[in-house]
Every structure is written in C-alpha cells, then in structure tokens.
Chains A and B, each alone.
Chain A
Amino acid sequence: DQQVKQNSPSLSVQEGRISILNCDYTNSMFDYFLWYKKYPAEGPTFLISISSIKDKNEDGRFTVFLNKSAKHLSLHIVPSQPGDSAVYFCAASAAGAGTASKLTFGTGTRLQVTL
C-alpha cells in the first residue's frame, strides 16, 4: 500500500523553463510534507517542506504547493538549471507518529534538465 505516490518516474525539461514535480498521498493523518533531492551515489538532501496549515511555501527558485482536499502536492522549480538534474523524493509525516518524525517516501521522479 503506497501511501505516497509519485506517478511520473521521469521528467525532462529545458534549461530556463519550469519543472513541475507531482506527489499524491492517501493518508489523511499526514500533516507535514518534504521534498528531498538525491544525486547518484549520495544520500538524499532536504530541499523544502510545507506544513498542512499552509498551501504554499517558497524558497528561492523552489516552491511547494499543497492541496489538502485533493491530497496533492507539487514542487515547482523556476527557472530550471542543469544542476537540478537529480531524483526528487516526496515524503510525508504524521503528527500521531510518536515523537520521532518517521517519514513515508514516494518512489521518486528523475528530473533531467537539458541545455
């Protein structure tokens, strides 16, 4: 039972254009959402997050949008740069998960930014 889904395994975008990565979730208890970026042979690196009390969070070129009614979030990268080429993971946590912030991850979307 995949509670966090990233239905697009890959995405190719031209440099300078917008990249939109999507994520859907099924667990209504999730109240915090994160995006991680992963380069080959490295561990995931935190990118941006959003609490369920917000519908948008922005950090430089990265913006995350949350639509709670649709159980959907998206990551926008504008403008896309070649260095953004990586695998992006969506993750979620639930307040009722005890004191540890246990994360549930999606399967990832491989973004390739072309020149």
Chain B
Amino acid sequence: NAGVTQTPKFRILKIGQSMTLQCTQDMNHNYMYWYRQDPGMGLKLIYYSVGAGITDKGEVPNGYNVSRSTTEDFPLRLELAAPSQTSVYFCASSYSPGRRKNEQFFGPGTRLTVL
C-alpha cells in the first residue's frame, strides 16, 4: 500500500492564481481530512469528508473548496490564492468509527508559497 499520497510536493503561486492540491489514499478509508500547518504552529483542519459525496468545513475553511467524488480521492481547491495561504498542506485519512477511528494517516505534505 502506498498509503496517502499528495501532489505536488512544492508549488509557487502568484496572488490571484488558482490550483488544486491532489490527495489519494489506497487504504479504503471513508474519512479524509485536509490540514494546513503554518510555521511554529500546529495543524489546523480545513475541510473533512466522511465519505464520497459528503464534505464539511473544519476550523479554517475560508478560501478553499473540496469535493469527494470517490473514496480514494479528496482534492483541495484554492480559487484566488493569497499570501495568507502560504503554508504546508497535509492530507490525512482514517478508519470509520469503531475501528481505531481517531488514528489518522498523513500524506507527506505540499509546500505552497503564494507571492
């Protein structure tokens, strides 16, 4: 199993550009999450999904959109990039409730810089 994979690893955007961060997991997890980590800070939840077609906002959703058309994929969309979105983005997935539901498996991250 590859686990959770994220592309790209690095990206530089200009203000106002848009992009999609890709996330794929091959563990058949129903639950998937997007976090951002700013320097010296913990991870903050942007959006999460409890299954295909179902998404919900986390703590810091403004400026982002998500979709979940399949169990495996959970892309994160930035429509109008702003310098405040410079961060490292982590995708994660987890089992359904009743099976170690709290343990999340993380991808390697995407480092995004907006100039």
Q: Which A residues are closer than 8 A to B by beta carbons?
A: 4, 9, 32, 34, 36, 41-46, 49, 89, 93, 98-108
Contact of A93 among B35, B50, B102, B106 (CB under 8 A): B102
Range of interface residues on B (Cβ < 8 Å): 20 to 34
The distance from the CB of A91 to the nearest CB of chain B, in whole angstroms, is 8
Asked whether, in the complex, the Cβ of A105 is within 8 Å of the Cβ of B48, the reply is: no
Q: Which of B23-75 contact A (CB under 8 A)?
A: 31, 33, 35, 40-45, 48, 50, 56, 58
Interface hub of A36, A42, A93, A100 (most chain B Cβ within 10 A) = A100
Asked whether, in the complex, the Cβ of A101 is within 8 Å of the Cβ of B41, the reply is: no
- A sample of 9 inter-chain contacts (CB < 8 A) reads A41-B108, A43-B4, A43-B109, A46-B104, A89-B42, A100-B33, A101-B97, A103-B102, A105-B44
Asked whether, in the complex, the Cβ of B42 is within 8 Å of the Cβ of A107, the reply is: yes
The distance from the CB of A76 to the nearest CB of chain B, in whole angstroms, is 20
Q: Which B residues are closer than 8 A to A by beta carbons?
A: 4, 31, 33, 35, 40-45, 48, 50, 56, 58, 90, 92, 94, 97, 101-109
Asked whether, in the complex, the Cβ of A34 is within 8 Å of the Cβ of B31, the reply is: no
Asked whether, in the complex, the Cβ of B42 is within 8 Å of the Cβ of A4, the reply is: yes
Interface hub of B33, B48, B101, B102 (most chain A Cβ within 10 A) = B102
Bound form: Cα–Cα A98–B107 in Å: 23
